[in-house]
């Protein structure tokens, strides 16, 4: 893994799952991390375990732009720059549309879509000024394929892909790279956000049969980050070998 040492990386949703796995790998490769999530106690424990220092954990709700801005600005104030933001925070409360789970719909739009936009919005002023940077957004296989119960989740993840492509084109004059990563079934706490017991039972069974370790996602992040400055990895779509959908 090249070009990771000393990079300043902000990760949202870093207290568990994919974000935590990415933090562990990037810390091992010498990145300077600033971690954001709502669960400050878990963030602080992870930062302590990885010897990141007291300033590496910032309580952050990605549905609040000001909190995301504080997270990113804190990274710049601490380290003098931001090289990468990994917009990873997300949730997946699948349900049938006919059940009218409006609160779940709103949460997915607020976290998965607005949260990604807020991360982009907070990082861009710094990256365009630096004339360098890398924005990594997390979509999903659901951003490529829709299944029953996943319509709203798939819509938010499709939107992340579309926003990432628009951003990629806009950032060419500023030398900012853009990557969207679309995982399949990877071990995380995503299924814990499902509020419908019958849907959760099915998704849990699917993950139990197919899910691969979160470290797999971390490897994809590191691969995109480690490319030479003149190489922009725009999209990574990966699944467990056993996953048909």
Tell me, rounded to whole angstroms, the distance of Cα 76 from its chain centroid: 19
Sign of the dihedral defined by the CA atoms of residues 54, 10, 38, 41, in that order: negative
Q: Is 236 helix (H, G, I), strand (E, B) or coil?
A: strand
153 is catalytic: yes
Q: What are phi and psi of 228, to 5 degrees?
A: -60, 160
Q: Rounded to whole angstroms, how far apart are CA atoms 110 and 124? A: 20
Q: Rounded to whole angstroms, how far apart are CA atoms 56 and 15? A: 12
Q: Rounded to whole angstroms, how far apart are CA atoms 35 and 13? A: 8
DSSP per-residue letters across 41-68: HHHHHHHHHTT--GGGEEE--TTSHHHH
Q: Exactly one of 18, 116, 122, 153 is catalytic; which is it? A: 153
**Of 58, 49, 42, 44, nearest to 28 (Cα)?**
49
* 135 close to 142: Cβ distance less than 8 angstroms: no
Catalytically active residues are 153
């Amino acid at each position: 893994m090249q070009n990771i040492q000393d990079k300043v990386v902000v990760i949202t949703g870093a207290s568990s799952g994919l974000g935590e796995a990415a933090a562990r790998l990037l810390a091992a490769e010498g990145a300077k991390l600033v971690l954001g999530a709502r669960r400050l106690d878990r963030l602080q424990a992870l930062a302590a375990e990885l010897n990141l220092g007291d300033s590496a954990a910032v309580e952050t709700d990605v549905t609040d732009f000001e909190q995301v801005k504080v997270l990113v600005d804190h990274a710049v104030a601490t380290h003098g720059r931001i090289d990468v933001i990994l917009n990873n925070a997300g949730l997946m409360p699948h349900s049938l549309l006919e059940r009218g789970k409006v609160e779940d719909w709103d949460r997915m739009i607020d976290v998965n879509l607005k949260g990604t936009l807020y991360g982009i919005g907070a990082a861009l002023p710094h990256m365009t000024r630096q004339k360098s940077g890398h924005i990594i957004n997390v979509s999903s296989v659901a951003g490529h394929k829709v299944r029953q119960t996943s319509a709203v989740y798939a819509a938010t993840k499709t939107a992340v892909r579309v926003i990432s492509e628009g951003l990629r084109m806009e950032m060419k004059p500023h030398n900012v790279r853009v990557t969207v990563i679309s995982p399949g079934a990877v071990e995380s706490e995503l299924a814990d956000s499902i509020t419908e017991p019958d849907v959760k039972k099915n998704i849990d069974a699917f993950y139990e049969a197919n899910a691969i370790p979160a470290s797999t996602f971390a490897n994809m992040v590191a691969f995109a980050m480690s490319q030479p400055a003149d190489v922009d990895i725009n999209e990574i779509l990966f699944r467990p070998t056993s996953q048909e959908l």
